[in-house]
Amino acid sequence: MATRTPSRTSALGKVAKALLAPALALGATVGLASAPAQAAVWNTCDQWGNTTLNGYTLYNNIWGSGAGSQCTWANSGTNWGVWANHPNTGGIKSYPNSKKVINKSITSLSSLTSSYNVTVPSSGAYNTSYDIWDTDYDHEIMLWVNYNGAVGPLGTSQGTVTLGGHTWNVYKGDNGANQVYSFLRTSDSTSGTVNILPILKWIKDTKGWIGNETIGDVQFGYEITSSSGGLDFRTDNLTVSSS
């Protein structure tokens, strides 16, 4: 894996602020250049713009300092995209995402899987990632399926492991608010299926880093550091399923 300069800051901010986003933040509906050729059923350029579609909650979620402009559109909770124009500076600017709430403990889950199919730019600095939280927001599990530019995980290397149908480079760190466990796919992927439950069990049972946490949010989106000039990120299909 190519060495990348770490640029990750506290991820708790993006989740906490998104959770506090008022329902009235849906007002902005400009930036239609970011939408697909057909009219999207929802779009926003508001910093904390959000909506719920088909059991998924979508967030525009511009949470970092020094951000530029960004608009999110959606045809459904599983088919959506982002146009972002953030300056070529360090630090994460945003994490536009679609969230599914699980609210089950690790031991009570018999399955937790997700499929993704995305189109991402060849320039800019970003990662395409799952952001998985316990209900107390003490533990954050990130699964990077692809990444580009000067981005990198928080913490120190914990080696390489094959879990959930993929091989990952694992990092463990603390951002001052919560523990962060980052799994970076050893090669970029724009489509696939991740069996998330074995990853959670490996963190809990094999490593002992967490207890029997209740998994709250499974988010999937784009952690964008820079996208100067305006870049498009598209989620053509996303499913999150649990039992």
Please check whether residue 3 lies inside any domain of the structure.
no
pLDDT reading at 33 higher than 90 = no
Give yes or no for a contact between 149 and 124, defined as CB atoms under 8 angstroms apart.
yes
Tokens in use for 209? 């880093």
pLDDT reading at 9 higher than 50 = no
Q: What is the pLDDT of residues 57-91, one digit of tens each?
A: 999 999 999 999 999 999 999 999 999 999 999 99
Burial of 130 per CB tally in 10 Å (0-12, 13-18, 19+):
buried
Please check whether residue 149 lies inside any domain of the structure.
yes
Question: Do β-strands 139-148 and 179-185 pair in parallel, antiparallel, or remain unpaired?
Answer: parallel
Spatial distance between the Cα atoms of 37 and 34, rounded to a whole number of angstroms: 9
Poorest-confidence range of 36-40, 111-115, 204-208?
36-40
Span 145-156, average pLDDT: 97
Please check whether residue 124 lies inside any domain of the structure.
yes
Residue 38: per-residue pLDDT: 54
Please check whether residue 6 lies inside any domain of the structure.
no
Please check whether residue 2 lies inside any domain of the structure.
no
Span 126-147, average pLDDT: 98
For residue 35, the domain's CATH number is: 2.60.120.180
Q: Which range of residues forms the domain containing residue 169?
A: 12-242
Band of residue 22 on the pLDDT scale cut at 50, 70, 90:
very low
Please check whether residue 152 lies inside any domain of the structure.
yes
Closest CA to 168 of 132, 149, 194: 194
Please check whether residue 7 lies inside any domain of the structure.
no
Band of residue 235 on the pLDDT scale cut at 50, 70, 90:
very high
Residue 172 burial (CB count, 10 A): 17
DSSP for residue 25: G
Owner of token pair 């994490």: 95
Share the mean pLDDT of the chain.
88
Band of residue 113 on the pLDDT scale cut at 50, 70, 90:
very high
Tokens in use for 65? 């300092």
Q: What is the pLDDT of residues 173-225, one digit of tens each?
A: 999 999 999 999 999 999 999 999 999 999 999 999 999 999 999 999 999 99
Distances (CA, A) of 164 to 2, 15, 190, 196: 23, 25, 16, 6
Poorest-confidence range of 39-43, 126-130, 183-187?
39-43
Please check whether residue 238 lies inside any domain of the structure.
yes
Number of domains in the chain: 1
- Strand, coil or helix: what is 74? strand
What global pTM score does this model have? 0.86
